[in-house]
Structure 1
Amino acid sequence: MGVGDRARGRRDVSARSGRACGGDRRRTVTTVRDVLELVRAPAALTVLGDTAVGAHAASGGFGRRGWLLPLASAAIYSGGMALNDWADRDVDAVERPERPIPSGRVRPKQALAVAAACGVAGLALAAAGGGRRSLAVAVPLVAAVVAYDVVAKPTAAGPLVMAACRALDVMMGARGSSRALPAALTIGTHTAGVTALSRGEVHGGSAAEVGTALAATGAAAASVDGVAPSVQTPLARAAGAAGAAGYLVSALPSQLAAADDPSPARVRDATRTGIGSVVPLQAALVARSGSLAVALGLTALDGARRLLMARRRAGDVT
């Protein structure tokens, strides 16, 4: 479920990257830290709130074992990140040789095994946490993740497919209830914008890509108030509006900086910030549904995520 598009340059690097893809053959042991880097472990915190958004929009909260659904999201997301690196190993050998596969710290077959294990774990957790109805959403979610990483990423449809992944993640928490569709579309809109922006991480962004991200951010913020029409208490509406404002404060500055200077460094920063800004958006959506305690929990989670990211060395999240 990652947003790292390297469409440009994919066709012209394969011939140059064969030796690099083999990695450093002196390295024979893959460490836990290597695997955590492969799956972008801190970034998995950004998906934990998706199912909370869906559950609260659909029925006011999780069921008895619903707490397993955020873990299902994290497992599927992590598997998608591992598959992403496997699919991009030729490009990464030239553009990002420090990544686990081209550097030789993780073998391609190991990355595939991690991706498969995470996918299976995600499906099992979805079934345990939400029963058949959540599993019925989790299966197409995993299929969409695979389609994005292996087929759709370098195409014009890439941002839409990734948006579908995150929307389905929300719907998994809602156990397929149509009441969560507005919230799912809000998360999907944000994701489409960030994915479009991420195409410029290596070579710089275009005005269209940055403009798409800005428009998506504005649309997502504007849609927060409409995600829970059955909850019209002043407190819920005020909390949702405050959350939407916090989301804009989180996402917009780096996007505006990228609009002013769409260099690779600025685009990477805006993409990294955009990935994390989904958590304030999740908090806003949950608050608008009337669940202020959960919204505060997501806000605290965002603080923990920021601390973890600050401790990592500078680099790509996508």
Structure 2
Amino acid sequence: MPSLRDLAELVRAPAALSVPGDVVAGAAAGQVLGGRTLGLACSSVCLYWAGMAANDWADRHLDAVERPERPIPSGRVSPDAALKVAAGLTVAGLAAAGLSGGRRALAVAVPLAAAVWSYDLVAKNTAAGPLAMALCRGLDVLLGATPGRSVADALPSALTVAAHTYLLTALSRAEVSGSDRSLPAATLAGTVALAVATVLGRGDASREPQTARAAQVVRTVQAGLTGWYAARFGLSQAQAVAEPSASRLRAAVGTGIVALPALQGALVARSGAIREGIAVAAAVPLGRALARKVSPT
């Protein structure tokens, strides 16, 4: 029977700290932060972990060559056990969505689960792979907005998280083989553009703070958290541009995963939920500490 540590490595447990911020960003954009947000965040984490386990199951033969230290090829977790973990977490994720948000939440959670499994089993090694993964994270943001009047309120935040995910997934495709400088240079340029767009972006005009001072605080926190994200992820990519080895690219991917809550926090703050945005961003140092114990990639 696999140990808890082996299962944590299978699902990349620390990387899940980057997941609840999707739902919180969607809920903040829809002005529906509340009790249901917690349940939807649990659903999101379960589906994320399910995708990680399914990914390792699908890649078990390739990992035996490229990453033999992973739980399945090393023999610490059997393929059958990994598949059962993935299926069980998928069911748990859908159940949590249904219990927390009813039919409206399931209307997003079911396509999200389908997108996760489609990425792992079909799209990952195709040209559509980064786009498929971006779709998963975009839907994850929309899941948080399902208790509100319309998930369309969360579309700007969903597109921001999806854009980050696209860049990160494109970068991750070379984390085993390495690449030339053009790949990390392109993702670095995309990260800078994304950060600028996030700083300049505004929430729903009808929900802007009523005083100039409050609006200034929102913009300051929004810019500060975005700058934190851009500095951490940008620096790791710049190092990969200087030396585009597999180890540098893998480190940049890990940093991109761990730094995402700072970007999510900026989106939450942009919607006026400053304290919640800072709380989401606080997952960055925690994720960094946990990543030293269990790899997020």
TM-score, normalised on structure 1?
A: 0.86
Q: For 1:228, which of 203, 219, 237 is the aligned residue? A: 203
Q: For 1:307, which of 261, 282, 289 is the aligned residue? A: 289
The two structures, once aligned, show a CA RMSD in angstroms of 1.4
Aligned to 2:212: none
State yes or no: 1:212 paired with 2:183.
Answer: no
Aligned to 1:43: 15
Are the aligned partners of 2:181 and 2:242 in contact in 1 as well (CA < 8 Å)? no
Q: CA deviation at 1:195?
A: 0.4
Q: For 2:38, which of 59, 67, 89 is the aligned residue? A: 67
Q: 1:13-32 counterparts in 2 under 5 A? A: 29-32=1-4
Report the number of matched residues. Answer: 286
Q: CA deviation at 1:194?
A: 0.5
Unaligned regions of 5+ residues in structure 1, if any? 1-28
Q: CA deviation at 1:209?
A: 2.5
Q: CA deviation at 1:227?
A: 4.7
Instruction: Percent identity, please.
Output: 49
Are the aligned partners of 2:13 and 2:296 in contact in 1 as well (CA < 8 Å)? no
Are the aligned partners of 2:226 and 2:263 in contact in 1 as well (CA < 8 Å)? yes
Q: For 1:187, which of 161, 180, 184 is the aligned residue? A: 161
State yes or no: 1:317 paired with 2:289.
Answer: no
Amino acid at match of 1:205: S
Aligned to 2:253: 271
Aligned to 1:33: 5
Aligned to 2:94: 123
Q: For 2:116, which of 131, 138, 145 is the aligned residue? A: 145
Amino acid at match of 1:310: R
State yes or no: 1:202 paired with 2:173.
Answer: no
Aligned to 1:57: 29
Are the aligned partners of 2:229 and 2:259 in contact in 1 as well (CA < 8 Å)? yes
> C-alpha distance in 2, partners of 1:129/1:62?
13
> C-alpha distance in 2, partners of 1:89/1:97?
9
Are the aligned partners of 1:192 and 1:216 in contact in 2 as well (CA < 8 Å)? no
Q: For 2:276, which of 284, 289, 294 is the aligned residue? A: 294
Q: CA deviation at 1:135?
A: 1.2
Q: Secondary structure at the match of 2:296?
A: coil
Are the aligned partners of 1:200 and 1:206 in contact in 2 as well (CA < 8 Å)? no
Amino acid at match of 1:222: V
Q: Deviations over 1:119-164 (max 9, x none)?
A: 1111111112222111110111011111111111111110010001
User: 1 or 2, which has the higher helix percentage?
Assistant: 2
Aligned to 1:95: 66
> C-alpha distance in 2, partners of 1:84/1:95?
14
> C-alpha distance in 2, partners of 1:64/1:299?
20
